[in-house]
Amino acid sequence: MNFDFSFFLFSATVVTGVIWGGYLYYLKRTHTEYIEANEPLIVEYARSFFPVVLIVFILRSFIAEPFRIPSGSMMPTLLIGDFILVNKFTYGIRIPVINKKIIQINEPARGDAVVFRYPKNPSVDYIKRVIGLPGDHISYQDKKLTINGKLMKQVSLGRYQGVGQGKTMSGAEILTEDLQPVEHDILINHNAPNIKGTFIVPKGHYFVMGDNRDNSNDSRYWGTVPEENLVGRAFFIWMNWDWENTGVGFSRIGTVIQ
């Protein structure tokens, strides 16, 4: 169990609910008339905060959770400073805090941009793109991706011009990669070392890679992501703030993540 913000919200919901509910139960048992002005201060706070933390807890645990992109590993799809929403129910309903799945809905699809708990440190959240599904044979050679013996087509779009904190990637080649059927853009730095490897994705695991192929700590280095580590699918950019690029990036607000 990770004692993160979800645990804090759960604890706050339980504590405020018990205090407020316990006070109401006490009034009922003692046949005391409820008078708001006579509430103890702690009960007043609990009554005020309980509905708020309960709603936030439900929304964040079962509907959507906000995240901020801190690195350039998913450029050009996601930029440093993007604030995104992650669909929490698309891969199934999980019990908050302990993250145990109780209802199966969908399986991750190749091409999904997913948030997951980093297998080597589950207290840290990562975002990458699903490349390999359970049972897939993955090969990455000469900066090209082959899945189950089929080369994924890449089409060059020219040179990338980075902005803000992503300026360091200016000059890299931007390409559209076809994962069949999902198409998405990637960055390739031809001056970076040529990472090579072949992988077989175990049952119940997923092979993930960053769209910024030469600047991403992903499955090529530390292995696959267990299904139970999945948090949800990233689907929407609701804000962008990069102090090195005019502050608020209005053009990115409302962008659907492909």
Residue 134 domain boundaries: 70-256
pLDDT in tens, 29-66: 998 888 887 889 999 999 999 999 999 999 998 999 99
Residues 107 and 158 in one domain: yes
Pair of tokens at residue 28: 């009922």
- Of 63, 80, 96, the residue at which a domain comes to its end is 63
**Residue 148 in this model has a pLDDT that exceeds 70:** yes
Pair of tokens at residue 22: 């316990």
- Of 26, 47, 63, the residue at which a domain comes to its end is 63
- CA–CA separation, 258 and 255 (whole Å): 9
Residues 49 and 80 in one domain: no
pLDDT of residue 32: 87
Count of domains for the chain: 2
Tell me the mean pLDDT in the region 199-219. 97
pLDDT in tens, 91-106: 999 888 888 888 889 9
**Residue 1 in this model has a pLDDT that exceeds 80:** no
Q: How many CB atoms lie within 10 A of CB 224?
A: 20
**Residue 132 in this model has a pLDDT that exceeds 60:** yes
**At 68, is the pLDDT very low, low, confident or very high (cuts 50, 70, 90)?**
very high
∠ CA(74), CA(189), CA(218), 5° rounding? 40
- Of 43, 63, 83, the residue at which a domain comes to its end is 63
**At 173, is the pLDDT very low, low, confident or very high (cuts 50, 70, 90)?**
very high
* Closest alpha carbon to 119 in 207, 229, 232: 229
Residues 17 and 136 in one domain: no
Residues annotated catalytic, as ranges: 73, 128
pLDDT of residue 2: 46
Strands 82-87 and 150-151: unpaired
Largest CA distance in the chain: 78
**Residue 194 in this model has a pLDDT that exceeds 80:** yes
Residues 118 and 10 in one domain: no
Radius of gyration over alpha carbons of the chain, in Å? 23
Cis bond before residue 51 (omega within 30° of 0): no
CATH number of the domain enclosing 156:
2.10.109.10
